Amino acid sequence: MAGRIAFAACLLIASACVTFYETNINFNRQFEQGNLNQALAELHANPKLHKPPYRFLYYVNAGLTSCHAGAVCGKQLLV
């Protein structure tokens, strides 16, 4: 029984990660190519990322991208 619950939990977590990656695919491509300003624009333009399931990861990605783009990390407010 415990094994089935653990397996179901792993499937749930894996599907959540895939869903977030698919939601963020354009941001990820721009970030990987080094187009940081375009990546930030993609991130800010995606309304799904401002909702509770993704909000924390949105702020992490926005902060990381802003720092790499040359913003003053920790001092500048994100849009």
pLDDT for 18: 60
Find the largest Cα–Cα distance for the chain: 51
Task: Record the pTM.
Answer: 0.64
Residue 79: pLDDT over 60: no
Domain residue ranges of the chain, discontinuous segments joined by +:
2-68
pLDDT for 11: 56
How confident is the model over 5-37, as pLDDT tens digits? Answer: 776 665 556 555 567 777 788 899 999 999 999
Distances (CA, A) of 79 to 4, 13, 40, 46, 64: 43, 29, 10, 13, 13
How confident is the model over 53-73, as pLDDT tens digits? Answer: 788 888 999 988 988 887 656
pLDDT for 46: 86
